Amino acid sequence: MKFGVVVFPGSNCDSDCYHVIKDVINEHVEYIWHDYNEKLDFDCIILPGGFSYGDYLRAGAIARFSKVMSRIEEFAQNGGLVIGICNGFQILTESHLLPGALIRNKNLKFICSDQYVKVVNNKTPFTNLYNENEVINLPIAHGEGNYVVDETTLQEMIKNEQIVLQYCDKNGNINDDTNPNGSVLNIAGICNKEKNVFGLMPHPERSSEKLLGCEDGKRVFLSIINYLRSR
């Protein structure tokens, strides 16, 4: 398996993702610079968290025009696996590889905390090793994680089972009290219709080792491996 981790000016979780792939799940991984403009020869591309281009204009708005994004769009359209974490999720919506947008948190403050999320769709390449409706603990760290989308598109997403993760409490309750940022339907992660592009605001790479206190996020990466090996 061959993973690629994209590095934008302002990325700060690229090394974390690289470490998890290389040292935790022991797979081949390479960094991909933002101005890379050749065909992508990888099994999975990771868009990491951080503050690409300083989050000027909007989070992910400038990164969307990096040369590598044209190649990633091509890669995704050909069925390649793409996962965007936090800022990576924002870039995927700005690139229209995923529907909707991420705006300022409802309290207008940066949030950094552990967060329970429910895996409401475990039939994706990124969640197949979780149980349906399993509650897991993943860290969040964002100022613009409030997911919004028009009602027509939202209904299509529900019909197509594109909602993958929802914010909840430890008992799996999904309501306003368990919503940290104001996201519609407590959405924490979504995929495209084809299920090969996945975006999530929580950080699975920060929850992939016992040393960090929790390994709930590790199965995101192991699910990718499981999917690729079963094809």
CB under 8 Å to 42, separation ≥6 — which residues? 2, 3, 4, 30, 75, 80
What SS3 string covers 181-199?
Answer: CCCHHHEEEEECCCCCEEE
Please give the average per-residue pLDDT across 4-30, as a whole number: 97
% of the chain with per-residue pLDDT over 90: 97
pLDDT tops 90 at residue 45: yes
pLDDT tops 90 at residue 55: no
Q: Please tell me the distance from the alpha carbon of residue 101 to that of residue 176, in angstroms, as a whole number.
A: 19
pLDDT at 56: 85
CB under 8 Å to 94, separation ≥6 — which residues? 58, 60, 61, 63, 64, 101
Active site residues: 86, 203, 205
pLDDT at 231: 85
pLDDT at 195: 98
pLDDT at 2: 97
Q: Under a CB-based contact definition with an 8 Å cutoff, are residues 58 and 97 in contact?
A: no
Q: Mean pLDDT of all residues in the chain?
A: 97
Which among 116, 113, 83 is positioned nearest to 98, based on CA atoms? Answer: 83
Which among 8, 16, 35 is positioned nearest to 207, based on CA atoms? Answer: 16
Please give the average per-residue pLDDT across 49-75, as a whole number: 93
Please give the average per-residue pLDDT across 179-188, as a whole number: 98
Please give the average per-residue pLDDT across 19-36, as a whole number: 97
Model confidence at 185, pLDDT cuts 50, 70, 90, reads very high
What does the domain layout of the chain look like in residue ranges? 2-230
CATH class of the structural domain 2-230: alpha beta
Q: Under a CB-based contact definition with an 8 Å cutoff, are residues 43 and 50 in contact?
A: no
pLDDT at 126: 98
pLDDT tops 90 at residue 136: yes
- For 79-114, what is each residue's pLDDT tens digit? 999 999 999 999 999 999 999 999 999 999 999 999
Give the DSSP H/E element, type plus range, for residue 45.
Answer: strand 44-47
What SS3 string covers 70-94?
Answer: HHHHHHHHCCCEEEEECHHHHHHHH
pLDDT at 155: 98
pLDDT at 182: 98
- For 149-162, what is each residue's pLDDT tens digit? 999 999 999 999 99
State the residue for tokens 């994209």: 6
What are 74's two structure tokens?
């091509």
State the residue for tokens 């989308």: 149
Beta pairing partners, 147 = 102
